[in-house]
Structure 1
Amino acid sequence: MFRHEFANTLSRVIGVVTAFLMVSTWPLALANAESEMGVTVADYVNAAGSRRYLVYTPSGDTEGRPMIVWLHGCDPAANDPTKLLESPLARVARERGFVLVSPMQPTSAHPGACWNWGRESDQHRGSGEPSIIAGITEEVRDRLGIDPDRVYAIGHSAGGLMTTIMGATYPDIYAEISSWCTGAYAGGTDTTGLAAHAEMGSRARPLPVLVVESNTDPLSTVPLGRMAVGQWVGTNSATLAMASHPRPRVLRQEADPGRGFEHGATVETYDFGPAQVRMLALDDGGHLLDGDSDGVTEYAVDFVLGYRLR
């Protein structure tokens, strides 16, 4: 009962407040999306439902390229191709040459266009929204000849929580995940990591994870981010059958000017052999990471592209 009420309450708060913060006057331009340089629109359908998605392909051959799946937060305007093209992630995609995929959450699925991370039926492999997102990922990966060992997921807010779910449900598809302004698996309630480990099943492996939080975020607070880190530490520990959790090693205590951070930042890393669970905590920026979205994006892309599935 607590888990259900906690997830529903947190989902409503994030959905209402974030939609208010992020709503934009940009018109939806799906009809003209294919005329935008490198952006196409497609629809995916499976037994769980259907979703439209955007694919941004920088110029050149896609064969063997890496791919990042971006899961937006509670923002109806996130479905605008123009907004995707103007995002820091699209800019970095142009610079690094990876393919960017953005599944769209319609307001018919959630009034605030939030991914339904708090709904139990959307937290498991082969069902609900995770199956749709995984299906989109595989469809684009196979169609464009993407390197199957270099597929990643990054998400913000409600999208960050759904990214956590994707890491637990499909660790055989995503080489690494990065969740921003987020929480733990199972609607933010998996404090031990054992539920995520059980969800991984026979596909369990130490999963590299980057969690990003802001010390001034009023919605997804740093304690929630630390719960997410603790969950993945527990999940990876269970996978490796460790007797105890490793202690964190602080790698950086101040902002790295080379990353473009406007505010200070602290980095903590837990090592699991070839995989790391890392937390980047910004000193400021709020829920939308104001002033640091470029730096966070570059930092996250550097982190995820450093890993391969096999």
Structure 2
Amino acid sequence: MTKPLPTVDMFEVTRLTRAGRLTEAMAMLRGTDPAAAPAGAEAPADGPRTLDLTPPDGDDAVWTLSGATARRAAGLAEKSLPEGMKAWRDRLPPALGDGDADRYGPAVAPGARFETRTFTNEAGSRAYRLYVPSRFRGAPLPLIVMLHGCTQSPDDFAAGTRMNEVAEEHGILVAYPAQSKSANASKCWNWFNGADQQRDRGEPSLIAGITREILAAFPVPAGRVYVAGLSAGGAAAAVMGETYPDLFAAVGVHSGLACGAASDVASAFGAMRGGASGGSPRRASGKGLPTIVFHGDRDSTVNPVNADQVIAQAQAEAALPTTVSQGTTPAGMRFTRKVATDAAGRAVLEQWTLHGAGHAWSGGSPAGSYTDPNGPDASREMARFFLQAAPGA
């Protein structure tokens, strides 16, 4: 009879490893009492019993293992994982570890700036990165606010989406707010919390505050501010469109969920598996913003039905003329594109279904995590949709 796998708190294992407490971490992985683990298990008998640690970089960072200690810890962890857990781990989407993607660095054109800033209000404080294209000379430019997915950082997200390159081509400002580990251990935006789905409260107030801070510092025309995101960031973008329709002119949701699809952690997992309970949540604002959606039909992290619910929530009118087209990228990925237009013939809803794709930014660069270079270029298509669907005054 197969012995059942132990229940392991991987967040606690990670915390103990980062704190240099490898004995306890290994004991947890083995399913034994940490207090019963033999002393000195962190190092081989013939090696030094010291830990190479890298000091924290920033308020939300932690001490991390480095050098030979990091390699030894990785080897011990690999040996200690039960076979069933290894199989579970290998099924996870391919994401780079914290900081790994940042070593590639996002594109910054000569003469452009990629600034690091911080915004603070009653809800807390968030760092953010701002890309200022080289062509900026004081004339008004549009702004796109990009919300990263879980475990990602602004640099990782910028590198993977290549949105800086698109911004350089079109002359666009791009902001990348950073979720902090103190707010969510996996750096996910808390789109599923009721308090983080309301205007002027929680994370929506922080993202809106960052946006307004940029508007105060740079000449951005009214009606030329857009928000987009991936996964948890895509769900947060949908929240921003619903709670701040006066601030954002259009929304891009990649592999995300509709605003109000969940109200807590339990319902979040349910929505990710099968969409919002009872179908698409009602619009909070009563005003549907132009919305573009990308979603892989093989996404096992966020069920593709959520893409339909995002579109349904954004649809302001009962019926809109819709055209459907299909295509294949040069890399061989098939896709279906649905475009709904308003009475003036302007595209207001656009849905891309990526056939065979999983949970990753379509057309992205392998320099970042959660990207699929084989798909259509979501960054360029979003920028095109934003500038055409909501051209502003």
Asked if these proteins are the same fold (TM beyond 0.5), I'd say yes
In structure 1, the gaps of 5 or more residues are: 1-16, 238-244
* CA shift in 2, pair 1:251/1:206, >3 Å: same
Q: What residue identity is the alignment partner of 1:47?
A: E
1:47 pairs with one of 122, 126, 130: 122
1:158 pairs with one of 232, 241, 244: 232
Q: Tell me the distance in 2 between the aligned counterparts of 1:192 and 1:171.
A: 22
Q: What residue identity is the alignment partner of 1:52?
A: A
The 8 Å contact of residues 338 and 352 in structure 2, kept in 1 or not, is answered as yes
What does residue 334 of structure 2 align with? Answer: 264
What does residue 173 of structure 2 align with? Answer: 99
* CA shift in 2, pair 1:18/1:108, >3 Å: farther
* CA shift in 2, pair 1:24/1:215, >3 Å: same
* CA shift in 2, pair 1:222/1:134, >3 Å: same
* CA shift in 2, pair 1:104/1:207, >3 Å: same
Q: Tell me the distance in 2 between the aligned counterparts of 1:281 and 1:71.
A: 21
Q: Tell me the distance in 2 between the aligned counterparts of 1:167 and 1:254.
A: 29
SS at match of 1:300: helix
The 8 Å contact of residues 261 and 295 in structure 1, kept in 2 or not, is answered as no
The Cα offsets for residues 33-87 of structure 1, whole Å up to 9 and x where unpaired, read as: x9995111111111111111100111132531111000000024x233x762564
SS at match of 1:43: strand
The 8 Å contact of residues 54 and 101 in structure 1, kept in 2 or not, is answered as yes
Give runs of ≥4 in structure 1 deviating > 4 Å: 17-20, 34-37, 190-194
Pair 1:252 & 2:325 matched: yes
What does residue 215 of structure 1 align with? Answer: 297
* CA shift in 2, pair 1:18/1:116, >3 Å: farther
State the 1:271 CA deviation: 3.0
What does residue 387 of structure 2 align with? Answer: 305
State the 1:23 CA deviation: 2.7
1:226 pairs with one of 289, 308, 311: 308
* CA shift in 2, pair 1:22/1:148, >3 Å: farther
The Cα offsets for residues 122-144 of structure 1, whole Å up to 9 and x where unpaired, read as: 00101000011011001102201
Q: Tell me the distance in 1 between the aligned counterparts of 2:386 and 2:210.
A: 20
Q: What residue identity is the alignment partner of 2:354?
A: L
What does residue 358 of structure 2 align with? Answer: 286
Larger gyration radius, structure 1 or structure 2: 2
Q: Tell me the distance in 1 between the aligned counterparts of 2:212 and 2:289.
A: 19
The 8 Å contact of residues 280 and 309 in structure 2, kept in 1 or not, is answered as no
Q: What residue identity is the alignment partner of 1:287?
A: H
State the 1:300 CA deviation: 1.3
What does residue 195 of structure 1 align with? Answer: 282
The Cα offsets for residues 182-203 of structure 1, whole Å up to 9 and x where unpaired, read as: 111113538666632xx32xxx
The 8 Å contact of residues 259 and 281 in structure 2, kept in 1 or not, is answered as no
The 8 Å contact of residues 285 and 291 in structure 1, kept in 2 or not, is answered as no
Q: Tell me the distance in 2 between the aligned counterparts of 1:222 and 1:191.
A: 16
So what's the TM-score if we normalise by structure 1? 0.78
What does residue 151 of structure 2 align with? Answer: 75
The Cα RMSD (Å) is: 2.8
The 8 Å contact of residues 230 and 254 in structure 2, kept in 1 or not, is answered as yes
SS at match of 1:253: strand
What does residue 136 of structure 1 align with? Answer: 210
The 8 Å contact of residues 267 and 278 in structure 1, kept in 2 or not, is answered as yes
Q: What residue identity is the alignment partner of 2:217?
A: R
Q: Tell me the distance in 1 between the aligned counterparts of 2:116 and 2:332.
A: 34
State the 1:249 CA deviation: 2.3
**Identity of aligned pairs, percent?**
27
1:116 pairs with one of 190, 214, 233: 190
SS at match of 2:386: helix
1:296 pairs with one of 378, 382, 388: 378
So what's the TM-score if we normalise by structure 2? 0.63
SS at match of 1:195: coil
State the 1:19 CA deviation: 8.2
Q: Indicate the structure with greater helix content.
A: 1
The 8 Å contact of residues 58 and 93 in structure 1, kept in 2 or not, is answered as yes
In structure 2, the gaps of 5 or more residues are: 1-90, 263-270, 363-371
The Cα offsets for residues 164-210 of structure 1, whole Å up to 9 and x where unpaired, read as: 000000000111001000111113538666632xx32xxx4341001
Q: What residue identity is the alignment partner of 1:166?
A: M
* CA shift in 2, pair 1:127/1:309, >3 Å: farther
Q: Tell me the distance in 2 between the aligned counterparts of 1:214 and 1:248.
A: 24
